[in-house]
Homo-oligomer: A and B are copies of this chain.
Amino acid sequence: MSNLPSLELLIEQFRRLPSVGRKSAERMAYSILDYSEEEAMLFANAITEAKQNIKRCKVCHNFSEDEICPVCADEERNRSVICVVEDARDIISLEKVKSFNGVYHVIGGTISPMNGVTPDDLNIKSLMHRIHNEGTEEIIIATNPTVEGETTALYISRLIKPLGIKVSRLAYGMPVGGELDHADEVTLMRALEGRNEL
């Protein structure tokens, strides 16, 4: 193997990708050797171009190829409701549902003293700036249901509630189509706590 340094380098690059082990990385690298030079060039260009073209929206920090992302640029969206998410890829998941017509704000992580992430490291200042300037009526906090996500949700909610703005949190409970039998204890506890009257 060490006799093919170019292949070794390529395998290393594939190994850096999420959930790719040595064996998978090897198979991926070999598959590139079966590509035509043109196909390999297309792949290489896709990587550099995605990196060069995709920036962050100046308003909400969503992925965007323009200064302002398509959600923020859309005149039809309700600017008075902002959904706060940890990561830009969460927006893509939420947009697939097609049931939210407000706008988003990507804070870029969660407060985590263990990892040295303080509120100042997140896009919270720009969120407060938007709230003060855009006539926001409701903030939906959609951080993940983890310890850090909950801490961050609580922090943001305490910051915003005194301004008289409605703050809500995504509902957590049984996944639709799931079975009680398979639900973990925390999920079940949340489902019980958040029960609705019929």
Binding site for B on A (CB under 8 A): 1, 3-7, 9-10, 12-13, 16-20, 24, 26-33, 35, 37, 40-54, 63-65, 69-70, 89, 92, 95-96, 181
Contacts and interface: CB of A to CB of B under 8 A. Distances in A.
Which residue, A20, A31, A47, A65, has most C-beta atoms of chain B within 10 A? A47
Nearest to A181: B27
B65 A30 contact: no
A146 B24 CA distance: 22
A43 to B, nearest CB: 5
Contact of A44 (B29, B37, B48): B48
A43 B51 CA distance: 11
A43 B46 CA distance: 11
Contacts of A53: 6
B6 A50 contact: yes
A89 to B, nearest CB: 5
Given A18-B31, A89-B30, A5 B51 contact: no
A29 B46 CA distance: 10
A110 to B, nearest CB: 16
B13 A42 contact: yes
Contacts of A19: 24, 27
B33 A3 contact: no
A13 B27 CA distance: 15
7 contacts: A3-B65, A10-B50, A12-B46, A13-B46, A18-B24, A18-B28, A40-B47
A167 to B, nearest CB: 28
A6 B65 contact: yes
B63 A4 contact: yes
Given A1-B96, A3-B64, A18-B28, 5 more contacts: A1-B92, A13-B43, A33-B51, A40-B51, A44-B47
Contacts of A42: 13
